[in-house]
Amino acid sequence: MIYRKERKVAAAVQSLMAQTRDSMVCFEFVEPVDPREPQDVIDMKLRNARIIEASGPFARYFGYKDRGEVIGAHLMDLFNNEIPDWFVNYGQEVEDGGFEDIERRIEIPVGDSWRAMRVYMQNIFDGPLLTNQWITLRDVTREERAERAMAEQEQLNLLALEAIGLENFVVNLREVAGSRRTEELVRGIQEEKHWQEIHSDDLPLLESACERFCAGEQKELHGLFRVSVDHQEVWLEAWAVASSRDALGLPESVVGVIMDRTSSKQIENKLIGNQRLESLGVLTGGITHDFNNLLMSIMGSLDLLMHRNPELSDLLGVIDDAATQAVQLCEQLLTYSGRGTGNLAITNVSDVLGSMRDLLAITAHQNARLDIDLADECFIRCDSSQIRQIALNLVKNSSDALVGNTGQISLTLRPINFEERWRSEYALGENLHPGEYVALTVSDDGAGVSLDELDKVFDPFYTTKFTGRGLGLAVVMGIVRGYNGAIKITSRVGEGTEVQVLFPIESNPDVLQSDQDAPKLAVLSGTILVVDDEAPVLQTVGNLLKEIGLDAELVPSGQAAINAVQQKTNQFAAILMDVTMPDLDGIETAAQILDYDPRAKIVLSSGYSNVVVPEKLKDRVQFLQKPYRLDVLHEMLGDIRTSGEKDQLRNVSDY
């Protein structure tokens, strides 16, 4: 407090006011202020206060030419007869018994703008009564505007970070020592979004990164980790640097950002999953192709034994049943690999699924409710049997997922308009382009699938069922891959699962006819040229041909076949040729033979069912999938007549 001084200092004060560069003013209350007085009385005394001293800068700030013009003016003259808020608040402080000096920041309007002032008030008392007050005004507009600009920029930065999925964090390590620095940094990162917990597999990695950063071993902190948000797994990436360091160069304050990497991680996982599935598909397809060649020798020889020894039919029938099951398993594996597409035709899937209502109802558990909702027309290019297999597999999986075998299963079929932004949500989504697709969706309210299991459901032989083989969804994936479609699975543990399969839509069901409508090959009887790089297959096919009365010339390669045709022109009634051979494959060999002899009759054969034949060869070659039986081979050749002869080859009934 400063109590009234002797008037002898008045001259010194006047000299100070004339020389100072600060905006200073001293006013006196005509009537001293008693803090115990009512507020309206204090307000009136504030209005009547008069300026007794002022500096030149203060006078000029309020529009006066010099300090002499402002001395004697009422304080309210400076403020357009309105008591400023800071004066009112000050009066309230006085009323509450406050007698301390006051420092306050104020804003003063100046036209359409404003100026920021730092106000220092020094009270002068005479006993308990306030009689005078010194006020020093310092213009802090520049600093204030800089601070506001920084705050606005910070807000813009926050908005920008939020717009691109970033969150910022600040961790103070000044008062933390030792290993607690790492703990504090991890806690600061984790508490930014109030996550339930960091994944147990990722927490040690994040702690290790924080420990190295706090020890000064690395300039930047980087960590990729998973957290649980609303029972969903979210991938986050943290980047941080030290905004200040201590004398030892260790971080004192850490600032950083956290980015949500869930979408990009999902895309990355899908790409890895697709690559894994593609690799497995190639491996599975190759093994199955080779196994089909083995089955060709086994089943061909078995057919010969059964034909020649009917008395052994019971014993050989057991072997035949096992071989047939092996063929079916190979078909499933080929379908998984995307190398088996069956007999394709443009088909209304609604009709196919509609005819399965009773079968699907039997597939679901007795206590489950199955709802089927099918659009009237949904045409796709497919093999109807494979669509039935997809529906049965998906409904069976949903039924098995129901808790206590009770719950709801829904199967819907709808055309949808696919959008580019959905691509990353689908396995095989790289096959998709914006436009119309047919969506087959099967959902249930069963147990759901965990995130760890969700990444494995398409793997062949992976199953959570005690009696399962793990080929259900793997086969579905293979069929969808072969159709250039895509598949999406969404699931929550305890809430259920939804599987959606997309097929390219066909608008005109009359454009394409089924492959099975192709006319039988009109081949002349006589000698059949058999081309295959597998010696057991060559020998078996030769034996089958001899069994139905044909001669066979066996060659092990495409080049050997071309040489034989050129050396023995018009001597082969037909050419039965494997597709997959080293050096010169069956398709290229067929093209060269047809260039040399356009009348040549060629049958291509393969362990794969989706052999792509060039457009120029489609009407000039036939296809026979391995392993084929004796009756199938005989049926294909049964209507063939020899050139110049009328004897027809024996029918199946002849043997």
CATH number of the domain that residue 191 is part of: 3.30.450.20
Q: Are residues 496 and 530 in the same domain?
A: no
Domain membership of residue 265 (yes or no) is no
Same domain, 632 and 565: yes
Looking at the structure, do residues 384 and 242 belong to the same domain, yes or no? no
Residue 40 lies in a domain: yes
Same domain, 520 and 490: no
The answer to whether residues 525 and 416 belong to one domain is no
Q: Does residue 408 share a domain with residue 543? A: no
Long-range CB contact pairs, 361-365, < 8 A, 24+: 363/392, 363/395, 363/396, 363/399, 364/395, 364/396, 364/398, 364/399, 364/409, 365/399, 365/402, 365/405, 365/406
Token pair recorded at residue 338: 């995307």
Written as six digits, the tokens of 360 are 């699907």
Based on the fold, state whether residues 190 and 117 are members of the same structural domain: no
List the one residue out of 29, 26, 23 whose CA is nearest residue 12: 26
| 159 domain residue, yes or no | no
Cis peptide before 434, with omega less than 30 degrees from 0? Answer: no
Cβ-based burial of 262 (10 A; exposed 0-12, middle 13-18, buried ≥19): middle
Within-domain flag for 245:
yes
Residues 168, 136, single domain; the answer is no
Q: What is the pLDDT of residue 476?
A: 83
Answer with the one of 108, 141, 174 that is the final residue of a domain: 141
Do residues 557 and 618 share a domain? yes
- The residue written with tokens 């940094």 in the block is 185
* pLDDT attached to residue 592: 92
DSSP state of 615: G
- Domain termination residue (choose one: 476, 504, 532): 504
CA 539 vs. chain centroid, Å, equals 52
How many residues does this entry show for the chain? 655
Entry pTM: 0.45
Q: Any idea what the CATH number is for the domain that residue 351 is in?
A: 3.30.565.10
Of the candidates 598, 605, 600, the residue with the CA atom closest to the CA atom of residue 623 = 605
Which of 260, 290, 317 is the last residue in one of the domains?
A: 260
Per-residue pLDDT tens digits for 326-362:
776 777 666 655 555 556 788 899 999 998 888 888 8
- Regarding whether 350 and 498 lie in a shared domain, the answer is yes
DSSP letter, residue 643: T
Contacts of 189 (CB under 8 A, 6+ apart): 169, 171, 206, 210, 223, 238, 240, 256, 258
Whether 557 and 586 share a structural domain? yes
Does residue 327 lie in a domain region? no
Asked if residue 75 lies in contact with residue 49, where contact means CB atoms within 8 angstroms, the answer is: yes
Domain extent at residue 457: 345-504
Q: Which residues of the chain, if any, have pLDDT below 70?
A: 1-12, 80-101, 108-111, 153-168, 177-178, 190-196, 229-231, 266-267, 270-285, 328, 332-343, 452, 455-456, 459-472, 508-525, 609-610, 637-655
Q: What is the CATH number of the domain that holds 582?
A: 3.40.50.2300
The pLDDT score that the predictor gives to residue 335 is: 63
Instruction: Dig out the tokens for 428 from the structure.
Output: 């095989």
H or E stretch covering 92: helix 85-95
Looking at the fold, whether 37 and 99 belong to one and the same domain comes out as yes
Is 44 inside any structural domain?
Answer: yes
269 within some domain: no
Quick check: is 325 in a domain? no
Cα 21 from Cα 237, distance rounded (Å): 54
Count of domains observed in the chain = 4
Distance between CA 427 and CA 449 in Å, rounded? 16
